[in-house]
Amino acid sequence: MTTENNRRPKVLMVACTGPSPERPYQAVFIRRWAQQLVEGGCDLRVFTRRHITFGTYLSSWSRVLEYYSTPRRFQYHWDGILVNGIRQHLRFPLNYSPSAARLSLDAMREPLREIYQEFAFDIMYMATWGDFSLAAAKVAKELRVPYLATAIGNYENRFYNKPYSLPYRIQRELYEGSKLVLCVSNDLERKAQIMTDGKVPTWTWDSGVNMQHFAPSVKQRQQRRAELGIAENELLLTFVGRLVKEKGIYELLGAFGPLAKDGPQVKLALVGHAPRERRIRRKLRAEGLENRVIMVGGVPAAEIASYLNATDLFVFPSFNEGLPNVIKEACSCALPIVATNVGGIPEIVKDGVNGLLVPAQDVNALLLAIRKMVADPELLSKFGSAARESISREYDYRKNGQVLVNKIREIIASE
């Protein structure tokens, strides 16, 4: 397959999830990739999946009801991009078996072929992992269309050293058929190389951050702090992300409890969707933190900058990561960082330079690091200035976006 240099490449992005009218706050990294492809000169469509498992019935009836109210095949527009999707019930134990990819393939083959007939895409871009991406890869092979796989951090971080596990085997098969594995951090490129014995081309690339949008703003700071009820003499800690166990949310609350008793006027804002919101609120009530912790909920991506600008210290205690967008965004807003020393985070947060790194799941280490920062305003200012400077050197959003599009053009032209 060849494509003329002056023709806009047609890209089908296969996404594990995507921003939608119901959840404009989710999948920020997919939104960013999509925007960069379009701005770089690609025609883009997105294919996604809404799914539930039997566990969903136990954890979230709202998601179950939303699932059954969604057509089996659906489409909507988001940021001017057409999104097509299917809904799929992942049935235990088959969703944890080698049959998972085959079942997904059965559900995806026809809709993907129909998209191809209408939108003859030149390449598939896998912004996902697991059975969904492997099934899409099999359809790409049937259509004789190349695909680009990605190492985002989900399976790679947990299974790169477990060659007999099903997730490892799924990712390896996905990577082996890919023209290139795009890795969002050096750490993930190392793990992808381990999973493929170094036999598959890999490439470390990061989307970067829009430093014009994520920039310090006194106006945003004043407006958002007034809305949150934060006085100027109070210190605001902020976490942005899904409020789930894997993001270290309970370790953060465990560290904030003693901090709140220290005396200084410190508050914590939790910005993000909370699948188990009632559980978190019960914990806050039990520990008397209701007036010190603000649960903001999920917010549209465009509003994240204002919450960061209202912040004095950004805290991100996740268990495993690729290269979190929100840390780059916090750095771009000149925020000092306390984060866990996992995945690609140390590639952004340099311990003792623009923030402090702590071990994952270590409440005491997290508490000590936050206390050190809270007690030293000069350190907060120093780390914040260094954070924005480091982002400006390595994470140019527009430049990195064009580099990605050029790489995609190269892959298409080589077919």
Q: What is the pLDDT of residues 308-365, one digit of tens each?
A: 999 999 999 999 998 899 999 999 999 999 999 999 999 999 999 999 999 999 999 9
User: 141 and 281: one domain?
Assistant: no
- Res. 2 pLDDT band, cuts 50 70 90: very low
Same domain? For 194 and 264 the reply is no
Query: Which helix (H) or strand (E) is 189 found in, with range?
Result: helix 186-195
How would you class 229 by CB atoms within 10 Å of its CB: exposed for 0-12, middle for 13-18, buried for 19 or more?
A: exposed
For residue 5, pLDDT beyond 70: no
Categorise residue 208: left if φ over 0, alpha if ψ from -120 to 50, beta otherwise: left
| CA atoms of 248 and 186, how far apart (whole Å) | 23
Residue 407 in domain: yes
User: What residues make up the domain containing 100?
Assistant: 10-208+397-413
Tell me the pLDDT tens digit for each residue of 43-69.
999 999 988 888 888 878 888 888 898
pLDDT digits (tens, 9 = 90+) for 209-253: 999 999 999 999 999 999 999 998 999 999 999 999 999 999 999
259 close to 266: Cβ distance less than 8 angstroms? yes
Q: The tokens of 198 are what?
A: 């170094």
Confidence of residue 19 (pLDDT cuts 50, 70, 90): low
Strand order across the 43-53 sheet: 73-78, 81-90, 43-53, 10-15, 123-127, 147-151, 180-183, 202-204
Say if residue 117 is in the same domain as residue 260. no
Structure tokens at 334: 């000149």
Chain segment 176-196, per-residue pLDDT in tens: 999 999 999 999 999 999 999
| Inside any domain, residue 362 | yes
Residue 281 in domain: yes
Distance from the Cα of residue 200 to its chain's centroid: 24
Give the pLDDT mean for 268-288: 93
The answer to whether residue 1 sits within a structural domain is no
If one counts every other C-beta atom within 10 angstroms of the C-beta of residue 356, the result is 25
Looking at the structure, tell me whether residues 81 and 203 fall in a common domain. Answer: yes
CATH number of the structural domain spanning residue 189: 3.40.50.2000
Please tell me whether residues 286 and 387 are part of one structural domain: yes
Residues in CB range of 204: below 8 A, 6 or more apart: 183, 184, 185, 186, 188, 189
Q: For residue 403, which amino acid is it?
A: V
* 120: in domain: yes
Q: Are residues 174 and 255 in the same domain?
A: no
Kindly state whether residues 168 and 301 are assigned to the same domain: no
| Burial (Cβ within 10 Å: 0-12, 13-18, ≥19) of residue 147 | buried
Whether 4 is in a domain gets the answer: no
Query: Which whole-number Å values give the CA distances from 140 to 16, 121, 258, in the listed order?
Result: 17, 10, 53
**41, 67 contact by CB (below 8 A):** no
Q: How many structural domains comprise the chain?
A: 2
Indicate if 44 and 151 belong to the same structural domain. Answer: yes
Taking a C-beta distance cutoff of 8 angstroms, is the pair 200, 181 a contact?
A: yes
* Secondary element (H or E) of residue 81: strand 81-90
Note the maximum CA span of the chain.
66
